Each structure stands twice: as C-alpha cells, then as structure tokens.
Structure 1
Amino acid sequence: MAFDPARVDTWIFDLDYTLYPVAARVFEQIDQRMGLFIEGLLGCDHAEARRIQKMYFHDHGTTLAGLMHYHAIDPHEFLGFVHDIDMAALDEAPRLEEKLLALPGRRLIFTNGDAPYASKVLDKLGIANCFEGMWDIHAMEYRPKPEPSAYAGMIAALGVEPERAVFVEDSARNLSPAKALGMQTVWLDLGTDWGDRAKDDAAIDLVIDDIGQWLDACLAELAPPSQSLP
C-alpha cells in the first residue's frame, strides 16, 4: 500500500537520527557512554563492554533493557549517565519547525530514550513546540520498541487511532509492530549499519532518505487545489 497523507491525523516520529541528521553524531556520544557504564558496572575492558552492549541492544531492543534483565540496574541512573553529553553539534531547525507545524493533526514523539533527554534535543533543535505528546522508555515500562506493548501502551494512553496515524522511524525493525496495528509506516533510510536490521518490506509503506523533502511532498499533496481566477 502506498503512503496516503490524507488518511493521517496523528504524525508519530522517532527522535534520534529521525529529527536530526546522522552527521550531528549525537548518538555516538551516548554509545560511548554506554560502554563506559558497562565497563564500570562489570569491571571489564572496552572490547568486552562493547560486545555486551551490542548483544543486549540486538537481543533486547535497547542496551538498557538487557542491563535491566541481566543486572537489575537502576534505569534512571543509567539514562542520566549516558545522556550526559554535549549537544553543541545540534543546530536549530527553523525550516523543519515550519514544516512540522504545517502538518494537520497531532504530532507525537515515540522514543526509546527518556523524556528529559528528548526534551533537551527538541529544545536545541527549536522544535519542542511542534509536539503535543511523547511516549518514552519510562512510559513503556522499559519494554522498548519493537516490543508490541510499547505501541499498545502509546495508543491507549495518547488516544491514537492507528488507522489514522503514520509512524516515521530510521530503524526499520521498529516499523513492523506499528504496521501490524494498522498504522501507515515511513522508513527513513539513512544508510546506517543498523537501519535495515530485521527489515520487513511488507511492513513499510514508504522509504525516504530526507525527512524535509518528505514533509514538503506531504504538504504539497495535502494543499487545497488552487482556484483559477474567473
């Protein structure tokens, strides 16, 4: 099924590398701090911490979920540590703000990060005012995307009608549960080594490589037809 913006009244966006470019390398800092946390927790070297980190990510959806499962860590302590980063590389995005605000209906954030971190990112980008709701890792009760319960909880709590929603995400595997619930799905393919992991083509309505161009196309399609002068 091709993507149809006319069916959408709720626009749901992932955060990291969806609403800011990979070139900002923000998540690389978080990735490094996850490794440091594991080194301190387990007393292992960098290489072993890296192996454990990625194993937990691939097996449990997030490194945090794996650490909670095997080591019963405090999620607030972990998230506070890994999100203590420099956001200087993020620039304000007034054109993105303009496009987001022009979308008809509601706009929501659906992130495996936590709300304090997400709010800092949105504030730095200058687009916090574009979103009326957020579903974060705490709200998910630490069962992250692509766990189906994360999506079901968001739908119930935020009053989302799946058939009238679209989910935009750079990690393809996170689109399958949304599609199964009836949402339209858009994969932002950035050519990363994680983006196409566990990709299901049947769960993706549209593939894009630039969110700004996609928003322009949506707004153009949704614009009322121009009326010719008599």
Structure 2
Amino acid sequence: MSADLSHVDTWLFDLDNTLYPMESQFMGLIEVKMTDFVERETGLPREEARALQKQYFLEHGTTLAGLMANHSVEPKRFLDEVHDVSMDLLVPDAALRASISRLPGRRLIFTNGSLGHAERVLNHLNLHDLFDDLFAIESADYLPKPALATFDKITKMHAVRPPEAAFFEDSEKNLVPASRLGMTTVLVGPHAAASTSEHVHFRTNDLAAFLSSARLQGSPA
C-alpha cells in the first residue's frame, strides 16, 4: 500500500546510505579512512583502533564526536581526511531524482557528515539542485544526531513544523527523536523491514519506489 504523506510539506533526508544504497559499499571507503585516522591518532594497533572507532560511534553518535571528547581532535582535519574518497561506487539514480522532484514543499539534507561531503555526494548523484538547504555536522556545532538539541536546532533554523515534516534515515536510533517531536519517520535500507520500533512509521528498501507511490499534498484521494 502507498504511504499517505499528504500532510507533509517539509522533507528531511539523511545522506549516506539513504540517498544511495547501502549495498554500494561507499561508506566502507570512509570507514577505512576513519580507522586509519584513529590508528594514527591513538597509536593503537589497527584492530584496537577499529574497535575504538566503533565504540565512539555507538557512545557519541559519530566517531568524530568521540575523538573530539577524548582526544581533542580538530574536527575539520578529521572530516577533510575521511571524506576524501573516490565517488566511483556511487551511481546516479534517475528514478530517485524523479521521485524527489515530485515532493511538494521544502527539501532539506540532515546529515552527520560534513558540508563539503554532502555537496560532493549530491553533485555526483545529480541531486544537488533538488534541495533547499544542507544541515551538516558543522551546522549542528559538531553535535550529531540523535541528539535532541540538534533536532531542536534544525527545526528552529528552518522553521520546521514537526507534524508536517517527514524524516528519511537508514539509522533507526536517529528516527527516535524525530518521532518524539511528531515527525513522520521512514526507515530506509535493507534492514528496514525487520524493524519493530514504535518510532518507525514506514519502512522501505527502495526509496524511489516509496516516494513515487506515496500520496502527497494535492494528490487525488
């Protein structure tokens, strides 16, 4: 059945593993760079560095937040290094472009990645012109999702009315504050169907198909 999104006039999209398939393995390139950085910064053996990287991600929301809290890492240095990867694994999706194009109202990127990374990925995917603004980790003063303060910041900065907003994410935990604020939440990716969270309202492994079939403002009832 198609989703009824006829109440939505603001569309928030995560970037990585949401606007391109997780199966692309693109994020794997960035994760290798993160491990390189942690290994060099801490002097730990590689496997321990990778374990610490994952620990920081789980405890702080991003590896960067953990490095900033525990090692006083300057964020731009980290972000510039780990996002310096080839775009070759990312393939523009004409169907996704068409389905986002039909969405009425405002469209915003809401990512824990950097502004430069978001711009590069969107340009490569030929989606850059479809979004009104980018809310990246710099916009959040480096406090990542799922921090409620970061959700408060984007809603205030862009005058988002949560009951009239939808948020698309590949991370279940990042949808929890969105749901609690009153947004419609959509979990995207290969693991979405298995989610039983009360904070996930819709689930899809095909974002283009989900959006193209959804009932929108102005659509026939």
> Aligning the two structures, in what range does the TM-score lie when normalised by the shorter sequence?
over 0.9
Task: Report if aligned partners of 2:16, 2:27 keep a CA contact under 8 Å in 1.
Answer: yes
Alignment partner, residue 223 of structure 1: 219
**Could you tell me how far 1:200 is from its partner in structure 2?**
6.7
SS at match of 1:48: helix
RMSD (CA atoms)? 2.0
Q: Supply the AA of the counterpart residue of 2:115.
A: A
Is residue 3–residue 184 contact of structure 1 (8 Å, CA) maintained in 2? no
1:170-181 residue pairs with structure 2 within 5 A? Answer: 170-181=170-181
For residue 142 of structure 1, what is the amino acid of its counterpart? Y
Query: Is 1:80 aligned to residue 83 of structure 2?
Result: no
User: Which digits, 9 at most, give the CA deviation of each residue in 1:84-110, with x for residues without a partner?
Assistant: 101111122222111111111111100
State the 1:111 CA deviation: 0.2
The 1:220–1:175 alpha-carbon spacing in structure 2 relative to 1, beyond 3 Å, is closer
Give the equivalent residue in structure 2 for 1:185.
185
SS of residue paired to 2:138: coil
Aligned position for 1:113: 113
Aligned to 1:210: 206
Q: Say whether 1:201 aligns with 2:215.
A: no
Provide structure 2 residue ranges, at least 5 long, that are not aligned to the other structure.
none
Instruction: Name the larger-Rg structure.
Output: 1
Residues 139 and 80 from structure 1, CA distance in 2 versus in 1: closer, same or farther, beyond 3 angstroms? same
Measured after TM superposition, the shift of residue 222 of structure 1 is 5.5
The equivalent of 1:125 in structure 2 is: 125
Q: In 2, Cα distance between the equivalents of 1:89 and 1:48?
A: 28
- The 2-side partners of 1:162 and 1:134 are apart by 18
Q: Normalising by structure 2, what TM-score?
A: 0.94
Q: Which amino acid letter does the alignment assign opposite residue 207 of structure 2? A: I
- How far, CA to CA, are the matches of 2:164 and 2:196 in structure 1? 21
Percent of residue pairs bearing the same amino acid type:
38
Q: In 2, Cα distance between the equivalents of 1:189 and 1:120?
A: 22
Q: Give 1:145's aligned residue.
A: 145
Q: How far is 1:219 from its partner?
A: 5.0
Q: Which runs of 4+ in 1 moved over 6 A?
A: none
CA contact (8 A) 2:168 2:186 kept: yes
Provide the secondary structure at the position in 2 that maps to 1:166: strand
User: More relative contact order in 1 or in 2 (CA 8 Å, sep 6+)?
Assistant: 2
